[in-house]
Structures are given as C-alpha cells and as structure tokens.
Amino acid sequence: MAGLAVQIYNGGGVFRVVSTKPMPGTQWIRALTNVGCRVEVCTENKTILSVEDILALIGSRCDGVIGQLTEDWGETLFAALKKAGGHAYSNMAVGYNNVDVNAATRHGIAVGNTPGVLTETTAELAAALTLSAARRVVEADDFMRAGKYEGWLPSLFVGNLLKGQTVGIIGAGRIGSAYARMMIEGFKMNVIYYDLYQSTRLEKFVTAYGEFLKSQGETPVYWRRATSPEEVLKEADVVSLHPILDKTTYHLINKERLSLMKKDAVLVNASRGPVIDEAALVEHLKANPMFRVGLDVFEDEPFMKPGLGELPNAVVVPHIASASKWTREGMATLAALNVAGKLKGYPLWSNPNNIMPFLDEHSQPPAACPSIVNSKALGLPVSDGKAESKL
C-alpha cells in the first residue's frame, strides 16, 4: 500500500472500509465493525493526503471510504473506488465542495455528509470571532503579553458595541440561522438576511422574541429579508457569511461589495474561504483600519493571502469552527453511519434535520443512512418515517 501506515479494526470483517484519517472517538469505529466492516484507518503523519495516496489506500478492493474536506474527491478517485467494488463515500463534514458529486453519481457511489451535528458549534465560533473582532480581543491580548500595558486609559482598545445594532446574515441555513439566534438573544441585535430561500423559522423566532422583549418593557428586535447581498452589506454593522460554496457564492464578497460596507463594520467568515476575494479583503483592511474581520477559513487553505497575517484588524483561526469534542465525534459517527448504511442497503433517513437518534452511544442507531447528498440522483429509497416515529 505504497508504504502508508494504517491501523486495522475487525480484520475479519466482510466489507473493507477505509478512513483517510484517524477520527475522534470510538463510536464511529463500532458503527462500522458492528455491521461487519473491516476498518482501515490511515495513520500516516501527513496532514493532507494526495489523490495518489488515496488511490493507494483504496487499492484493488474497497467497499467504502470516509474522507476529509481537504481531499480532492473527483473522477479519478470515484473511478478507482468503483473499480475496487466500492459503493459509498462520506465526507466527515457538512460542506462537500471538495467532492465532484456528479462524478460519484456516474459511478453509482453514494456521497454522504454530516449536517446538523455541527450547527451550534460552528455558530458559536462565528459568535466568538464576532466578539473578538468587535472588541479587539486578540490585539489586546498581544498588547498585554508584550508587556505594553501601563494602566487604564479612556481610549485603550476601543471597539464596537453590539447591543441594538444590526447583524447581517448571508446564507441563513442551519448555521446562519443558529448564529443569528445567538446574536439576537445574546445582544438584542436586529437581523437582516439574504438567502435564496425564505427562512421562515428564523423570521418566526425573531418576531416571537421581539414580542417577548416588548412584553418585558424592552426594545423589541426586528428581522428583514433582503433582496440582494448588497442590501445586507450596506445596512448591517456585523455581517456573517454562512452559505455553501458553489459558483454562485465564489467571491461573493469582492472589492465592490466590501466598499458598500460601513467603515467600522465587522465581517465574519466561517463558511468557506473562496466566498471572499481574500486579496481584495487585505487591501480593504489596510485602507480601513476600523473595519475588522474574523476568519476561520481562507481562500488558499492552509495559506493566507500575503499581508493578512500582519494586519491587527484581522482575527484569524485555523478552520476550527466545528472543533468541539461532541461535534467532532458526532461528525465521525454520522460519516461512518452513512457508509455503513449504504453498504447494508439501508434507506435514507427521512428527516435530515433530526440526526440525534444516530448519536446516542447507548442505543442502536436507526437502520438508515443519516445524509446522502446524491440519494435522489441514485434513486435510493427513503425510510418511511416509522423508525423515526418510534424514537
């Protein structure tokens, strides 16, 4: 196997499943071995595996693979997986812009992802980046550690108040809406959002919360659905990006759109790096020192565009938005159950927004695949909901 180190669980299993990385927890391994899989985990000390590395891991016989968002899952890998007898692939991620789903479908391979289990964790990191940028937490921490603090001053690290301001959301899906709720409940912010679809649940929540505040004698909060990203950028004091990455969102934030934003706005990105034209952002940050960003993702990960790392008005963290223990273990479990379910011929779970039954360590997971993104194209059956109603 081209010398790549692997650790094997349940060596006698009938299905051969490869995980390109060790993943947190052990529940995911049990999910596979319990249904008769031999699990081979690549333990090679190399952060990003190349296509050639993964070809070597697939080898001449492989039933399913769990892979990572850093890997290039295109025609070459799906053709090889098909040739090796494979039927299932799952990203250990909700985003799957690294996967050519059409290529997988052409080869009859199901593609899984891991929605839901990372919604709150990711939204919390976006909130942390918002606060860090608005209140200059990292700059102040650097200052303190450098021994520069000589005493309280009226103008030391003055930042932005969030309470009562407007938060803008671009991409108000699961994570965007969860983040919006945190900023609304936590800081009584009004919300303006742009999405291709109406977010009725978010609207209802803000309306009801506004009514509650009014009943307490407090200023209510309001929502508005924008008809363009421009409307959000012009109006909001904080803008957080949560869309998927595809051709409609590539460089959605560019030089022109940055110029529409308030000079002291905060921009947060915990979606995918290429949603922002990062070189344009660097220029904008240099020209507008009161404009601040919080970034979890980067256009050319793991690299930053030249200059970004030196700017004090940028808070940067290494793609850790979903990095809580519960979430990462849950992502691994959902990815494993996608592969296990497909190999066992289970139907697709009928309610992708209710994945909790798959995550309970103390009971058998439902006999279903939690989330397969090309299930319709492959004509996979959907569970009739009876399993769900019994839970």
Ligand X SMILES: O=C(O)[C@H](O)CO
Ligand Y SMILES: NC(=O)c1ccc[n+]([C@@H]2O[C@H](COP(=O)([O-])OP(=O)(O)OC[C@H]3O[C@@H](n4cnc5c(N)ncnc54)[C@H](O)[C@@H]3O)[C@@H](O)[C@H]2O)c1
Binding-site ranges for ligand Y (CB under 6 A): 94-95, 115, 118-119, 122, 170-176, 194-197, 242-245, 248-249, 270-272, 296-297, 319, 321-322
Chosen from ligand Y, ligand X, none, partner binding at 244 (C-beta under 5 to 8 Å by type): ligand Y
Distant-in-sequence, close-in-space partners of 264: CB < 8 Å, separation ≥ 6: 160, 237, 290, 291, 292
Find the shortest distance in angstroms from Cβ 252 to ligand Y: 7
Tokens 């479990």 locate to: 333
319 is catalytic: yes
Catalytic residue among 272, 284, 292, 328: 272
Binding mask 311-330 for ligand X (x = CB under 6 A): -----------x--------
Find the shortest distance in angstroms from Cβ 250 to ligand Y: 9
Chosen from ligand X, ligand Y, none, partner binding at 271 (C-beta under 5 to 8 Å by type): ligand Y
Find the shortest distance in angstroms from Cβ 209 to ligand Y: 20
Shorter beta-carbon distance to ligand Y: residue 178 or 285: 178
Q: Which of 95, 176, 294, 357 binds ligand X (CB under 6 A)?
A: 95
Shorter beta-carbon distance to ligand X: residue 23 or 314: 23
Chosen from ligand Y, ligand X, none, partner binding at 99 (C-beta under 5 to 8 Å by type): none
* Distance (Å, whole) CA 175 – CA 198: 15
185 is catalytic: no
Contacts (CB under 6 A) with ligand X, residues 113-142: 118
Q: Which of 49, 58, 77, 93 binds ligand X (CB under 6 A)?
A: 93
Options 11-19, 75-83, 93-101, 280-288: segment touching ligand X (CB under 6 A): 93-101
Shorter beta-carbon distance to ligand Y: residue 20 or 119: 119
Find the shortest distance in angstroms from Cβ 173 to ligand Y: 2
224 is catalytic: no
Chosen from ligand X, ligand Y, none, partner binding at 357 (C-beta under 5 to 8 Å by type): none
Find the shortest distance in angstroms from Cβ 156 to ligand Y: 32
* Distance (Å, whole) CA 248 – CA 196: 10
Shorter beta-carbon distance to ligand Y: residue 187 or 193: 193
Chosen from ligand X, ligand Y, none, partner binding at 69 (C-beta under 5 to 8 Å by type): ligand X
**Helix/strand/coil (H/E/C) assignment for every residue in the chain:** CCCCCEEEECCCCCEEEEECCCCCCCHHHHHHHCCCEEEEEECCCCCCCCHHHHHHHHCCCCCEEEECCCCCECHHHHHHHHHCCCCEEEECCCCCCCECHHHHHHCCCEEECCCCCCHHHHHHHHHHHHHHHHCCHHHHHHHHHCCCCCCCCCCCCCCCCCCCCEEEEECCCHHHHHHHHHHHHHHCCEEEEECCCCCHHHHHHHHHHHHHHHHCCCCCCCEEECCCHHHHHHHCCEEEECCCCCCCCCCCECHHHHHHCCCCCEEEECCCHHHECHHHHHHHHHHCCCCEEEECCCCECCECCCCHHHCCCEEECCCCCCCCHHHHHHHHHHHHHHHHHHHHCCCECCCCCCCHHHCCCCCCCCCCECCECCHHHHCCCECCCHHHHHC
Find the shortest distance in angstroms from Cβ 84 to ligand Y: 28
Catalytic residue among 44, 231, 301, 388: 301
* Distance (Å, whole) CA 322 – CA 335: 15
Residue 94 binds ligand X, judged by CB under 6 A: yes
Shorter beta-carbon distance to ligand Y: residue 200 or 248: 248
List the catalytic residues.
272, 301, 319
Chain residues that interact with ligand X, rule: CB under 6 A: 69, 93-95, 118, 322
